[in-house]
Structure 1
Amino acid sequence: MKITFLTPGTGSYYCGACMRDNALANALIQSGHEAELLPMYLPLMLDEESEGLDSDSPVFFGGINIYLQQKFSIFRHSPEWIDRLLNKPGLLQSVAKRSHMTSARDHGEMTFEMLRLDGADFEKELRKLYSWINDHGRPDVLCLSTALQSGFAREIKKQWNIPVVCCFQGEDSFLDSLPDEFRERCWTLMAERCRDADLLLGPSNFYGRLMEKRLGLDEGVIKTQYNGINLEGFRGGKSLNVPAIGYLARMCEAKGLALLVDAFIHLRVQLGNENCRLEVAGAMTQGDLPLVESLKKKLSNSGLADAVGWRPNISREEKQDFLSGLSVFTVPVQYEEAFGLYVIEAMASAVPVVQPNRSAFPELIESSGGGVCVDMDSPEELAAAWHDLLEKPERLVEIGDRGRSGVEQHFSMEAMKDSFITAMESLVQSISKNE
């Protein structure tokens, strides 16, 4: 079976959706299937080698080209050499680093246009995509990495009449952040466009039910496809002289970084864990820098600047080394998290996780046994949960070992690949019977 993934890139930082698609494509290829990863909008930032990404593959629907075509219709007919120039990876990456400077209105307008995806307006870009796929072999199934791409389903099916799968990856928080003039329009349009897909996949039962309600879909229509990771290189069992609490996610307000720092200050100053460290790692863009600097200042004012380590934009190997040096792991997300790949990576390193008692976290931790879910509406609640675990070293080891076993069973790359192939084969057979 051949499967083609249309995967939006970030151009400047690692993201869970890109890494999920890459890990899945690699696993499919290693199992004898064909899989191709086609970058959309911006270059892909991957933390491991990709067997599905052709070294000659362009970025389709390049972000600069699409922006200009949306603003000035003359660019919909620009010559190919101009398109190639504007699609150069270096230029796209440079622009991506300044994405925080793009207006909210532009984000809303671009999102709406990609969901609407008028074939006449974007004929040139669709033609490039179709030409590449025809030259490299039409797939048995085409997979859209995120429901924000659901506008492509109708166009793809008109071109080839092949099954289209649409995945959900946390779109609700992005759509809710759009300006009023685009928010409801985009929600309504995405609900329409998702119905054009042959199969909808969500990363957790929680998120599937949430998006069914938000989109007005029948309950159970979004099937659950758990994300998985390549376990190679993740290791635990390092003996720690100093306890360390870790955070691995984008360094932003939405991921709860400010709450994390406040909880750490409370743990050290009020609860007496005076030798504990805080280690922070993950993606950091220019737009995140003001928050990080303000938190560093707060820590300095509390006399704890030297007790906190900061490691932005680390590689896969650096990430694995980082995780192996932790006692406890937390990302106190402030929104409804669809999955949380960072939780799986921590548990794969035999690190107990302490997560909010909501979103997908109870589901993931119940499946793996690798942590605890607690209410953390305040820094004091989170600090108390850390303190309780750090006082029981034997329990830390027990939970960590259980988490590693749970990830091997439920959230490995092999587990993800097997369930994905089962779903794809069932989809293809079902469509064939109905033709």
Structure 2
Amino acid sequence: MKVTFLTAGTGSYHCGACMRDNTLVTSLHKAGHEVSLLPMYLPMQLDEEALPQVQRAPIFFGGINVYLQQKFRIFRHTPRWLDRLMNGRGLLRSAAKRSHMTSPRDQGEMCLAMLQVEESKLTKELDKLVDWLEHHERPEVIALSNSMLCGLTRELKKRLGDIPVITFFQGEDTFLDSLPEPYRSKSWEEMKERLAQCDVLVAPSRFYAGLMTERLGLAEGRIEVLPNGINLEGYGDRREGGPQAIGYLARMSREKGLGDLVDAYLLFQEAGGFPSCRLRIAGACTLGDEEFVEEQKKKIERAGLSELVDWYPNVTREEKAEFLRGLTVFSVPVQYPEAFGLYLVEAMASGVPVVNPAAWSFPEIAEETGGGRVVAAGDLRALVRGWEELLADPAEIVAMGERGRRGVEERYSVAAMRDGFVEIAGRILAAAGRPDS
């Protein structure tokens, strides 16, 4: 089977969708499939090594070129050698660090332009992508890493012989809802129309499949479920004997619930049942997150707890695995409808039990693995009680950790994700009269 993934990069911080795609592509390659991954907008920030062909791949719809072409007519006619210069990875990574400065209006304009790409000011970039796919990749199937790329489908099918397209959902509703009007409504409407042209729609959880089915007015069953999976290599057993520690591993942002986590920890310490229990916080921290992180550090300092809180920004894969092994329990109390929550699976793979809100995809993951418990959403005291109950029961911590690790191996491994993808791709190739090679 010959598959090309189109994946939106972030340039400056680890992104779950990027890591998911890289893990899946690597696993497909090892299984004998001919597979490639083309980054869109920005370079990908990965915590695992990419395949050589992925590292060499050019970046399409480079963020600087897209911005300039959207704003200034002259850049829609610049020579390709100049476009390639502006697609330099170093230059794009530098621009990505300032992406938080992009105005909501600009984000709305660019989102709608990508959903209506053949009618937009970005047709030069579209031609570059199609030319590359036609003359270099020649895929049998194209996989779009998120549904906001579905605007490409019409032209890809038109110019590449009705090629099958698989489109993944990865939490797009939060971004779309953040856009100002009229871009918000227009983007939702355009996405619904464009998704009809995709052969298969895939969500990482039953929760998110249901949410997007409702938001987009799709037929029941139109969105299939293929859970994200992780490469289990390097995840070790939870360390015994160290200090008790509550852990968080996600982007250090308000939306991911870091502020709620800190507030809950302050309540937890006020109760006084576990005065030596530490709080350990790891994850991506961008320039746009730094002010919020400083606010949390000041809150902790005012409570006199700074010595009990450890910060680990922008960790590598090896550092992440070591970080997880040093935790007793794990929580990421996200504030928005989380489509999956790869961090929960990573914690469980390390034998660390999870306590998270009974919302979004979290109950589904806890039920499927047995590696966590859920508490009332939006109730910080319920979160604290969840921590206290587990910390007071070391035997249950061990038992839940073991259940979670087994559950991840069975349901959320990269092998399970790869086999599910191969089944979906093989099915649509057969339906199109193109048996996979």
TM-score bracket relative to the smaller structure = over 0.9
CA drift of 1:53 comes to 4.1
Return the alpha-carbon distance in structure 2 between the equivalents of residues 183 and 52 of structure 1.
Answer: 38
Aligned to 1:424: 425
User: 1:162 maps to what in 2?
Assistant: 163
Q: How far apart in 2 are the matches of 1:243 and 1:53? A: 43
For residue 420 of structure 1, what is the amino acid of its counterpart? Answer: F
CA shift in 2, pair 1:52/1:139, >3 Å: farther
Q: How much does 1:431 deviate?
A: 1.7
Task: Check conservation: 2:113, 2:122, Cα contact below 8 A.
Answer: no
What does 1:174-213 correspond to in 2, within 5 Å? Answer: 174-213=175-214
Q: Please, what is the CA RMSD of the aligned residues?
A: 1.3
Give ranges in structure 2 of 5+ residues lacking alignment. Answer: none
1:3 maps to what in 2? 3
Paired residues of 1:202 and 1:225 also in contact (CA < 8 A): yes
Q: Provide TM-score, normalisation by structure 1.
A: 0.98
Deviation at 1:119, TM superposition (A): 5.3
* 1:122-148 residue CA offsets vs partner (Å, 9 max, x unmatched): 332122212222333311100000001
Deviations 1:340-370 (A, max 9, x none): 0001100000100011101111111111111
Distance apart, 1:120 and its partner CA: 6.6
Distance in structure 1 (CA, Å) of the matches to 2:373 and 2:332: 12
Q: Does 1:59 align with 2:37?
A: no
Give the superposition deviation at 1:72: 1.2
- Partners in 1 of 2:58 and 2:434 — Cα distance? 36
Give 1:100's aligned residue. Answer: 100
Give me the whole-angstrom Cα distance separating, in 2, the residues matched to 1:139 and 1:394.
51
What is aligned with 1:150?
150
Q: Provide the rounded CA distance (Å) in 1 between the counterparts of 2:159 and 2:334.
A: 40
Identity rate of aligned residues, in percent? Answer: 53
In 2 relative to 1, CA 347–228 (structure 1 residues): closer, same or farther, beyond 3 Å?
Answer: same
Counterpart of 1:389 in 2: which secondary structure?
helix
State the distance in 1 between where 2:130 and 2:117 align.
15
User: For residue 272 of structure 1, what is the aligned residue in structure 2?
Assistant: 273
Kindly state the Cα deviation for residue 196 of structure 1 after the two structures are TM-superposed: 1.1
Distance in structure 2 (CA, Å) of the matches to 1:168 and 1:53: 25
Deviates more, 1:239-248 or 1:134-143: 134-143
1:292 aligned partner: 293
Rounded Cα–Cα distance in structure 2 between residues aligned with 1:120 and 1:394? 60
2:217 maps to 216
How far, CA to CA, are the matches of 2:118 and 2:242 in structure 1?
Answer: 60
Residue of structure 1 equivalent to 2:131: 131
Query: Does structure 1 residue 341 correspond to structure 2 residue 332?
Result: no
Q: What is the identity, as a one-letter code, of the residue corresponding to 2:176?
A: L
Post-superposition shift, 1:401?
0.3
Give unmatched runs, 5+ long, in structure 1.
none
Matched with 2:245 is 244
* Per-residue CA distance 1:254-280 (angstroms, 9 max, x = gap): 011000001111111224210100000
Is the 2:371–2:400 contact (alpha carbons within 8 Å) kept by the matching residues of 1? Answer: yes
The 8 Å contact of residues 42 and 63 in structure 1, kept in 2 or not, is answered as: yes
CA deviation digits over 1:268-308, x for unaligned, max 9? 12242101000000001111111110110110110101100
Cα distance between partner residues in 2 of 1:107 and 1:192: 20
Task: Provide, for residues 173-231 of structure 1, a one-character-per-residue CA deviation record: whole Å limited to 9, x for no partner.
Answer: 11111112211111111111111101100101110111011011101100001100000
Deviation, 1:25, is 0.3
| Counterpart check, 1:283 vs 2:284 | yes
Secondary structure, aligned partner of 1:68: helix
CA gap of 1:428–1:52, structure 2 versus 1, over 3 A, is: farther
Within 5 A, what are the aligned runs for 1:294-309? 294-309=295-310
Write the distance in 2 (CA, Å) between the matches of 1:127 and 1:173: 30
Alpha-carbon contact 1:36-1:52 (below 8 Å) kept = no
DSSP-derived class of the 1:432 partner: coil
TM-score (norm 2): 0.97
- Supply the distance in 2 between the matched residues of 1:187 and 1:271 (Cα, whole angstroms): 48
Paired with 2:223 and 2:272, the residues of 1 have a C-alpha distance of 44
**Letter paired with 2:110:** M
Give the match's secondary structure for 1:210: helix
2:11 and 2:96 in contact (8 A); partners too = yes
How many residues were matched structurally? 434
Question: Residue 47 in 1 paired to residue 56 in 2?
Answer: no
Tell me: CA distance 1:122–1:237, structure 2 relative to 1, closer, same or farther (3 Å): closer
Q: Distance in 2 between matches of 1:54 and 1:255?
A: 29
Letter in 2 for 1:67: Y
> Which digits, 9 at most, give the CA deviation of each residue in 1:369-410, with x for residues without a partner?
110011141322211110111000100000000000000000
Assess, with a 3 A threshold, how the Cα gap between structure 1 residues 412 and 52 changes in structure 2: closer, same or farther.
Answer: farther
Q: Distance in 2 between matches of 1:296 and 1:54?
A: 38
2:27 — aligned with what? 27
Q: Separation in 1 of the partners of 2:119 and 2:57?
A: 22
Partner Cα separation in structure 2 for residue 241 and residue 139 of structure 1: 51
Is the 2:65–2:86 Cα contact (8 Å) retained in structure 1? yes
